[in-house]
Every structure is written in structure tokens, then in C-alpha cells.
Amino acid sequence: MENGEIPENANEHCPGPQSESAGKSDACQGCPNQEVCATAPKGPDPDLVAIAERMATVKHKILVLSGKGGVGKSTFSAQLSFALAAKDFQVGLLDIDICGPSIPKMLGLEGQDIHQSNLGWSPVYVESNLGVMSIGFMLPNPDEAVIWRGPRKNGLIKQFLKDVYWGELDFLVVDAPPGTSDEHISIVQFLQATGIDGAIIVTTPQQVSLIDVRKEVSFCKKVGVPVLGVVENMSGLCQPLKDFRFLRMTENGEHTDLTEKVIEYMKEKAPEMLDLIAASEIFDSSGGGAAKMCTEMGVPFLGKVPLDPQLCKAAEEGKSCFSEQKCSISAPALKSIVEKLMAKYWCKEMSVEQSSDAHQDAFIHNCPFKFIESWVGVNTLCMCFVDSLCKMILCSYFDVKSFTIWFTAGYRSTAKPDQALDHGGDIPVITVTKVSSSSHLCFYSWNLIKGTAGTTNEAVVFV
């Protein structure tokens, strides 16, 4: 029980030997450690201090949850991580689904091992800015079941948080097991002091799955984790008509494959049909699906991702659905969800979350990237936010080599982001202190040399 760790022979819902109720709560009845726990001196868990130190280099922590298994949660976690990494962020993906770790396969990392250095356990890297940690890397045989009781699972989660050396991370995506089990309580308990941005909940549209999502939302509310939004996955099967097989069924259940004939017929009689996307509802969403549930429960709805065989293939092969443009149906849907999340984080970095909900909504609606991009119609843009308000929207030229931005036109707003008060005026020069040269969306910290001299602000630049 060194360092307050939960012993392996502890009861299933062990409250933790350092908790005030250790040895006394109902969950402790019959535990062989009951007497020791009840009498041992209590104090802060030193591991939580170690976790806080490790997590100090991680800017955003996101939990990915689902009420049920089989809804595509791990696929979403994997593709979210790929998408964030493609934006040049430093990303870590932590798989705490200890009994069913599927992340190594979905990232194409099966058979890889974890290495240890004097800094701790090293994640396995897909790319230089995307590292992965999972119990899947520690299993000698992937077919072997992990039959661990709660305390042992919790111990490993703690070790992942305490001992993995991630380095500087923009995002840590945590893929949790389905449901609301001990692992969920543990990860929240261990990370809470370090700040969790929130949870994304993945579901399918049918009622049977949504009932469990409601439980998941209620869990988040109880433990104080904000719900960043709900994703409706497998929202109808969509694929190009030409990728379907066409069968004629006989009375005894056998079938004849007519695909070749049908495709030939279409090519000859109506070739334009081959470009059509065919869609079909797989799950009954007559109850309104996840969007309705979100309205009822007062949580954001992030969007729908269709069931796309190409996305399933990308997950099987451990590839990003955004590369090679193969997932033409699901990739845009996932991209739009990631952009919504980005706007949320972006607002957060600008301290917008401290303002009222109404102000936040106005902010998001009045400063959408796409609107501004098409409105200004230039190749480089900068938006400046101070005290939650968009103070400047400017067209500029950006020199990556000298890390300098020249503003050539712009306006300022002193009240709301959409109220332009002062056109043109100053032409400030900005020195960029952090640059990500290949990204379409980059975050910079800069000093406004002319204007509010010496003040460090935040800017978002499209190049």
C-alpha cells in the first residue's frame, strides 16, 4: 500500500487507502486490508503530485467516452488524434480501455513495444507529433484476455499518467472504455486537479444507445467534467452507388451476384448514376437521434458521421481517413466536427469561456473562420482577441522565414466582434514567437510592436 496505491487484493469498488472512508465504507466490507486501511494515517496521495507534474506540459486533456461498446469511440479517438496532428499540434493518445485496447491497431502500431528512458515510459510514435500509449503494447499475446480487477486497472491508469513521458503536448486524447466504470472515476480523479477540458461522447442514433449516453452525460455532470459535445456516429450507411454489390435472392436464401451486369447497364444507360452516393438508415433514429437528446440534456451536438466502409477500412489498416482522400464521405463530416472543437478550444485560449453563454454564441457566430476568409478574400488573415473580444481582423502578409507579419488593412472593434469601428489606421508589425510553417491553421503568440506596445496577445493566422 506504498504511496497510497490500491492493493491488488482490494475490493472491487475500493475508495482508495488514502481516502477518509478507507476501511470504513461499505465497499471495504470483507477486504483483507480493512484494519490497516482504517487505522493508517491519511494524507495527500503523492502520486497525484507526480501526475500534476507530468501533466503540467499538456495544454488540453480530452476524454472520449461512449455509453456502449461498438459505437466507434476508438475509431473517433484515433481519427481525432490524426486530425489534430495534421494541424501540426503535438498530440498524445492514451488508451485506457484496458480490457479491450484497440488503439494500437487503429493507429497501425500493432506489435510495437514501449521503451523506457530515464525520463519515463516513451509513447510509441505514429509520427513525430503523434504519440500513443496503450496496454495493448504490453500484452505478449493480443488474443489473450486481460482479466484484471478494478484496483489493478486503476493502478495502471495512474502509472500511465505518472510515468509516461509525453513532453510538451497541445492535446492529450484519452480513449476510455465504454460505460461509467472504475476506470472513468479513476481517470477523472487523477486528472481533475490538473484540469480536464472536457469529454466528447460518441453514440449511434438509436434509442438503446442514447439511453446510455444520457447516463454518460449525467456521469460527467456529477464528476464535474464539461461535455464538449456528442458525436452521432454510424449515422446511416453512405457510399458511392458503384461500390455496392447487387444481388438477386432466391426463396431458399441463396443469391446470385448481378453486380457486373448492373454496373455495365448503368454505364451504358445512365452513367451519371455511378457518381451518386447511396444512403440508407441502419439504425432507427425516429426518436430524433443524438441531436434531440443533446437539446433535451443541454449539451452541445457536434455532428453526425455516416457509416462509411472506407472509414472502417482506414481504421482496420491503422490509417488516417484524411490522407489519400479515400474517405470522401466520412472525412468531411469528421473534419467539420474537429473544426467545431477547434473553435471551442480556440475560444478557450482566448478566455472566451469566462464570458456568458450568449456572448460565446455571439462570438462564435460572428467570427467564423470561413465567413471571414471568404469575406476578405485574401490568402493571409489574422484575428486578434483581447479580453474575450475580437479586437482586430486583419489581412496581412506573413513571412515564415523572418517570423514576421505585416498588417496591410484591418479594422478594430471595441465592443462586439461584429462592430467595426475603425477601418485601416495603424499598420502594426508583429513578431511571431511560435510558428508552425506547414499548417493551414496556426496558433501564435505575438507582441504588438505598434499599438498596444509590449502586450502579449494571441492571434490565429491562416496562411
List of residues contacting ligand SF4 (CB under 6 A): 7, 10-11, 14-15, 17, 22-23, 27-28, 31, 33-34, 37
Q: Is 82 exposed, middle or buried (CB count within 10 Å of its CB: 0-12, 13-18, 19+)? A: buried
Check the annotation: does 390 bind a ligand.
no
Check the annotation: does 31 bind a ligand.
yes
Q: Is 30 exposed, middle or buried (CB count within 10 Å of its CB: 0-12, 13-18, 19+)? A: exposed
Check the annotation: does 72 bind a ligand.
yes
User: Where do the H-state alpha helices sit in 56-181?
Assistant: 73-86, 103-106, 150-163
Check the annotation: does 14 bind a ligand.
yes
Check the annotation: does 74 bind a ligand.
yes
- DSSP element (H, E) containing 332: helix 330-349
In angstroms, give the least distance from the CB of 182 to ligand SF4: 12
Amino acid at 361: D
In angstroms, give the least distance from the CB of 152 to ligand SF4: 12
Check the annotation: does 439 bind a ligand.
no
- C-beta closer to ligand SF4: residue 26 or 357: 26
The set of cell numbers assigned to 27 is: 465497499
In angstroms, give the least distance from the CB of 153 to ligand SF4: 14
- C-beta closer to ligand SF4: residue 15 or 72: 15
Dihedral over Cα of 180, 185, 191, 192: its sign: positive
- C-beta closer to ligand SF4: residue 71 or 156: 156
The rounded distance, in Å, linking the Cα atoms of 178 and 457 is: 40
- C-beta closer to ligand SF4: residue 42 or 261: 42
Check the annotation: does 71 bind a ligand.
yes
The set of cell numbers assigned to 401 is: 522565414
In angstroms, give the least distance from the CB of 222 to ligand SF4: 21
In angstroms, give the least distance from the CB of 145 to ligand SF4: 24
- C-beta closer to ligand SF4: residue 23 or 303: 23
Task: Classify the phi-psi angles of 260: left when phi > 0, otherwise alpha if psi is within -120 to 50, otherwise beta.
Answer: alpha
The rounded distance, in Å, linking the Cα atoms of 405 and 433 is: 11
In angstroms, give the least distance from the CB of 214 to ligand SF4: 30
Query: Cα-flanking dihedrals φ and ψ of residue 462, to 5°?
Result: -100, 125
- DSSP element (H, E) containing 55: helix 46-55
- C-beta closer to ligand SF4: residue 26 or 113: 26
- Annotated binding site, which residues? 14, 28, 31, 37, 67-74
- Annotated binding site for [4Fe-4S] cluster, which residues? 14, 28, 31, 37
